[in-house]
Structure 1
């Protein structure tokens, strides 16, 4: 073989060796995904979220470096990051009809960082309904005082509302809720409250669907006290007003009740409560021809128009004759004593009258039997 041919074969073998037996450079590998996984409740992209639901963020195989939730105006939602950095929860309720956006960062066990991002929107009610609760915080009330929740508009889903109401007492007390109208639900004990009971009420109404596109405007709470046990015994035939406190009679006042032979002027039978107290009350009754009559030390016990009040002008009838227009008349001195002793919510038990009060004037809770009361529950 010639030298030129030998060189050609040597060169060809080298090329084959390089192309057939050599190893290529390793291909570029994709970087590993971060191990940290961030999750949200409600989920990112969720719509029509109830603003009262729990709002949370969590991270698996990592911890949050920072996490924020802001509304469309850029205001941050208050929240609490767990000590281990693995979860965050809102500590205030969200608003209706808003968009909320997550931001922040988490670091995984592998040291890699992942963003906290996403958004959701809350439902926009057709309307919201305001509610109020009575008694108010730290009030001291009598042993017949009902708890009353009133709404600005009629409520359709009464059962849902009633389930959101809770009553806690310092001593066991049997009681129940009853709907007195589409706008009012009351709770009263089966019997009078035990004296000196502490009562706490919560109404979780915010975000609650009332039906018909309406939702609750706000939660309500109240904490109040039941005072001493004072009862007014008002037997119209005795011409006396008797006050019993903590089981003992503490007063017996000469009184004049409503005219016995005119049903329109009777002081009607029934158990009522002291609803309000006014040192001066201006009274009108066009049917019986008087207007702007000024009476003092007036304690209202019915929205039908009945009061316990001073009527010094009727002094000759006190303790002897029933001749009022339905109110309970006392002397000025006795009316002042009674007025000073009374609490809103004290029971007034009227008996011996020729007529009884129909259960239609606020407050009529105690004009219903316990069975009648329970039948008004929505659950």
Structure 2
């Protein structure tokens, strides 16, 4: 009995050993072919024009990539160092039909795959001009006054929210600002308070490839930075008929002035005001000399108007209000308002002020009669901050 039991145990052990030996055997894994993936995927239509073209290989490496548009032009690009991805060096752009042919090498050898895609075709391309309040294009590192206002002018109407989403303003030091839309082509940006001297402002219009409404798309991206100069603020007070000029908070000059004589007139069916409207203006530009012609705003010379050459003229409104020299009214400067709306000052004061100011400097007019300065006249800063915020695309 003992011998039989021992043989039985040996038999089980032998069988178990054979079974374990059998479990240790592995069939070799079949070779894997290279797998090629495209982005955008094959057959995609209306692809975002900002997108790059990319190729990715799983279980292999790239041999070659040809990404060709409808004209036969190859899309430039380069593979990554590991030869597993390829990315175009420029976006796919508008209105293209691309055919991509890729060869990749895997364990089964070379694999060739082709794919096509088409990019969005705009009905119209829209450009934007980035300007200051004087409607002059911004240039890199230009210097402006503390009342600087950004103007984004679109050459066609746009969806305001879509456009504003891609108009980005950053400042150093940081300030809170907002866009205010005059209409579907004009948006202005300013902070709640005047900038600090030395602030750098960067405006980026990232519009290329962006839908702007009704089949319209942005033509290009733009980026420009400007700098804020010293804090020049002039305060013209009709109670004193003086203009106090401050440089970084310090009073540096007081200039007697004669402002608008007041009243209104109807000339040729047009309503004219002779007030210097109260509000916060900014310097738009300077001319020496400038031809002033009252007929330009509806007052001909035969109805009490004028056409004359004026030296050292600083324009502060879009409808022709200047701070300028006028020796003929020096008798009135400091005591009587006799102008049609401009701020008359002496030749010496005008020459000094002309050299002192730059575009964006502030001219505050206080205690005069007439209607407040309007937005279209250069009255961005005359709008309260709460009302300014209501002019944004998202309100």
Structure 2 length normalisation: TM-score? 0.82
Could you say which residue in structure 2 is the equivalent of 1:151?
A: 154
Structure 2 residue 111 is matched with structure 1 residue 114 = yes
Look up the SS of the partner of 2:243 in the other structure.
Answer: strand
Contiguous gaps of at least 5 residues in structure 2: 1-29, 133-137, 265-271
Structure 2 residue 378 is matched with structure 1 residue 363 = yes
Could you say which residue in structure 1 is the equivalent of 2:319?
A: 304
Structure 2 residue 195 is matched with structure 1 residue 193 = yes
Contiguous gaps of at least 5 residues in structure 1: 1-31
Does the aligned pair in 2 maintain the 1:165–1:202 contact within 8 Å?
Answer: yes
- Superposed CA offset, 1:219-273 (max 9, x none): 2211111111111111123222211111101111222211145581111100111
- Superposed CA offset, 1:57-86 (max 9, x none): 211122223324332233333334322222
Does the aligned pair in 1 maintain the 2:323–2:344 contact within 8 Å?
Answer: yes
Displaced runs of 4 or more, over 6 A: none
- d(CA) in 1 for partners of 2:344, 2:236: 12
What does residue range 235-250 of structure 1 map to in structure 2 within 5 Å?
Answer: 235-250=237-252
What root-mean-square deviation, in Å, do the aligned CA atoms of Structure 1 and Structure 2 show?
2.0
Q: How far off is 1:281 after superposition? A: 1.5
Structure 2 residue 111 is matched with structure 1 residue 96 = no
Could you say which residue in structure 2 is the equivalent of 1:349?
A: 364
- Superposed CA offset, 1:73-120 (max 9, x none): 333333343222222223323332121222343222x27222353221
Match of 1:265 among 262, 274, 278: 274
- d(CA) in 2 for partners of 1:250, 1:113: 80
What does residue range 39-58 of structure 1 map to in structure 2 within 5 Å?
Answer: 39-58=37-56
The verdict on how the C-alpha distance between 1:318 and 1:128 changes in structure 2, with shifts beyond 3 A counting, is same
Structure showing greater Rg: 1
Q: How far off is 1:151 after superposition? A: 0.6
- d(CA) in 2 for partners of 1:252, 1:180: 35
Look up the SS of the partner of 1:94 in the other structure.
Answer: coil
- d(CA) in 1 for partners of 2:215, 2:141: 34
Does the aligned pair in 1 maintain the 2:278–2:373 contact within 8 Å?
Answer: no
> Number of matched residues?
346
- Superposed CA offset, 1:135-159 (max 9, x none): 422111111111121111111x211
Could you say which residue in structure 2 is the equivalent of 1:275?
A: 284
- d(CA) in 2 for partners of 1:360, 1:134: 16
The verdict on how the C-alpha distance between 1:288 and 1:124 changes in structure 2, with shifts beyond 3 A counting, is same
The verdict on how the C-alpha distance between 1:119 and 1:328 changes in structure 2, with shifts beyond 3 A counting, is same
- d(CA) in 2 for partners of 1:187, 1:77: 38
Q: How far off is 1:204 after superposition? A: 1.4
Q: How far off is 1:338 after superposition? A: 0.8
